């Protein structure tokens, strides 16, 4: 169970911002010529950070000019993967943020560091693309909300909830919003797949640093799988259901991760306003070769399923329409990040992303305690 001081969130901290979007001049956003490349620093040079950075660096509008990581080998691996001959290197992210030539940062460190580093990037007046989740506890999510609210309105704050930017998800959302499946009656989401991380040994390394290298294996660093990975599903539910859950109840166990303090399978039931029930299931123990990741939205006239691979609209017994994704939708997220910087069509989704993460925190508390937990009981009254 989370400590009491992590359960309390003020009414003020959770009220929606006046707007997530602002339009300003490109010159004001960039501070240099609007048609020059965006100079980007990568904070966190692991696999995901390098993947994001490659997309941004290969875009003709962006270039990676600085790398930061605690570990030298991570920086070297990123330099090789990105084919960077000359790049500024840092072990301290604050020093990277102090570099005035860096316009934007990609934050792809272990999740427990996201609130602190996003807050510092806001204070440094950088454009920010922060990987999900917003944090691993309520205090961290509150910190992200506060930082987002005081951010420079000319600066972009995007999060790695890439479903929000994927064409198939946008098409599905449009159809649901326009009533193509009738009024929503039920929803379901799932993340069924194999283990994405294996604990590694680091002989001779300081035990704390060895833990950080294996951050995924520790709930204090990752938030457990429901926060670190399943937050993607909860962000989609937050989006499509246009609100936050009232309560949750569920269970989790360890079947194969007997030496870790994170679970490997879980099941939850949520209640959203207006008697909307949502079933959720996730595991990371499925053998390789099988996965099922996505969401289902059922209305009175049909069903729409969503995933990164495709959107499928079930209109009737013999009428099914499928639209496939043409590429990894992370490309869409990072391309829109650069586009917003250069055009001045600014977004700030810090608060929205923190709230999506808090849905995962609600589910985590329910499955850890095996008791019903309410949003109001954990986070306060946000009505």
> How do residues 229-277 score in pLDDT, each as one tens digit?
999 999 999 999 999 999 999 999 999 888 889 999 999 999 999 999 9
Average pLDDT over residues 304-325: 97
Structural domains counted in the chain: 2
DSSP helix/strand/coil, 4: helix
Q: What is the pLDDT of residue 188?
A: 99
Residues 206 and 231 in one domain: yes
Looking at the fold, whether 27 and 127 belong to one and the same domain comes out as yes
Same domain, 20 and 130: yes
Q: Is residue 356 part of a domain?
A: no
φ and ψ at residue 235, rounded to 5 degrees: -65, -40
For residue 358, the model assigns a pLDDT of 98
Residue 290 in any domain: the answer is yes
Residue 321 counted as domain residue: yes
Residue 156 belongs to some domain of the structure: yes
In-domain check, residue 105:
yes
Whether residue 355 lies inside any domain: the answer is: no
Q: What's the confidence (pLDDT) of residue 31? A: 42
Q: Is residue 63 domain-shared with residue 149, that is, in the same domain? A: yes
Pair (33, 79) in one structural domain:
yes
Q: Do residue 139 and residue 197 come from a single domain?
A: no
pLDDT band for position 76 (50/70/90)?
Answer: very high
Q: Are residues 226 and 298 in the same domain?
A: yes
- Rounded Cα distance between 217 and 263, Å, is 9
Eight-state DSSP code of residue 72: H
Output the domain CATH number for residue 232.
3.30.360.10
User: Does residue 253 fall inside a structural domain?
Assistant: yes
* Domain CATH code at residue 49: 3.40.50.720
> Phi first, then psi: what are they for 270, rounded to 5°?
-115, 150
- Those residues whose C-beta lies under 8 Å from the C-beta of residue 195, and which sit 6 or more positions away, are 256, 257, 264, 284, 285
Are 40 and 136 in a shared domain? yes
Residue 149 contacts by C-beta under 8 Å, 6 or more apart in sequence? Answer: 17, 350, 351
How far does the chain reach from its first CA to its final CA, in angstroms? Answer: 25
**Cα separation, 255 vs 93, whole angstroms:** 38
One domain for residues 143 and 80: yes
> Is residue 357, in this structure, part of any structural domain at all?
no
**pLDDT digit string (tens) for 48-73?**
999 999 999 999 999 999 999 999 99
- pLDDT, residue 19, reads 36
Looking at residue 267, the DSSP 8-state letter turns out to be: E
* Domain span at 322: 167-326+362-379
Indicate whether 19 and 45 sit together in one domain. yes
DSSP-derived 3-state class of residue 273: coil
| CA–CA gap between residue 108 and residue 117 (Å, rounded) | 10
Q: Does 200 lie in the same domain as 105?
A: no
The string of pLDDT tens digits covering residues 7-56 is 333 333 333 333 344 445 555 444 443 348 999 999 999 999 999 999 99
Q: 106 and 199 share a domain?
A: no
- Whether omega for the bond prior to residue 133 falls within 30 degrees of 0, making it cis, is yes
Cα 94 to Cα 250: distance, rounded to the nearest angstrom: 40
């Amino acid at each position: 169970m989370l400590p009491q001081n992590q359960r309390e969130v003020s009414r003020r901290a959770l009220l929606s911002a006046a707007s997530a979007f602002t339009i300003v001049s490109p010159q004001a956003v960039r501070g240099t010529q609007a048609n020059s490349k965006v100079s980007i620093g990568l904070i966190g040079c692991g696999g995901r950070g390098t993947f994001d950075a490659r997309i941004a660096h290969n875009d003709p509008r962006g270039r990676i000019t600085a790398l930061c990581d605690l570990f030298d080998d991570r920086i070297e691996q990123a330099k090789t993967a990105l084919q960077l001959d000359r790049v500024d290197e840092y072990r301290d992210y604050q020093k990277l943020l102090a570099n005035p030539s860096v316009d934007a940062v990609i934050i792809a460190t272990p999740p427990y560091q996201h609130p602190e580093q996003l807050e510092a990037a806001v204070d440094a007046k950088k454009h920010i693309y922060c990987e999900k989740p917003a944090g691993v506890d309520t205090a961290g999510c509150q910190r992200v909300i506060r930082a987002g609210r005081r951010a420079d309105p000319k600066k972009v704050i995007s999060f790695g909830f890439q479903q929000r930017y994927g064409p198939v998800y946008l098409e599905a959302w449009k159809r649901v919003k326009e009533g193509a499946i009738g009024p929503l009656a039920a929803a379901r989401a799932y993340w069924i797949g194999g283990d994405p991380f294996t604990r590694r040994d680091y002989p001779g390394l300081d035990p704390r640093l060895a833990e950080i290298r294996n951050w995924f294996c520790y709930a204090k660093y990752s938030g457990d799988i429901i926060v670190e990975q399943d937050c993607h599903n909860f962000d989609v539910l937050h989006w499509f259901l246009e609100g936050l859950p009232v309560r949750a109840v569920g269970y989790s166990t360890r079947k194969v991760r007997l030496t870790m303090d994170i679970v490997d399978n879980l099941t939850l039931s949520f209640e959203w306003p207006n008697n909307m029930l949502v079933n959720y299931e996730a595991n990371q123990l499925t053998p390789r070769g099988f996965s099922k990741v996505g969401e289902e939205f059922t209305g009175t006239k049909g069903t729409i399923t969503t995933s990164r691979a495709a959107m499928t609209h079930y209109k009737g017994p013999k009428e099914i329409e499928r639209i496939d994704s043409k590429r990894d939708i992370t490309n869409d997220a990072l391309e829109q990040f650069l586009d917003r910087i250069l055009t001045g069509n600014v977004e700030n989704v810090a608060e929205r992303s923190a709230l999506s993460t808090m849905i995962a925190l609600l589910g985590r508390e329910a499955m850890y305690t095996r008791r019903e937990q309410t949003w109001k009981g954990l986070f306060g009254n946000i009505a």
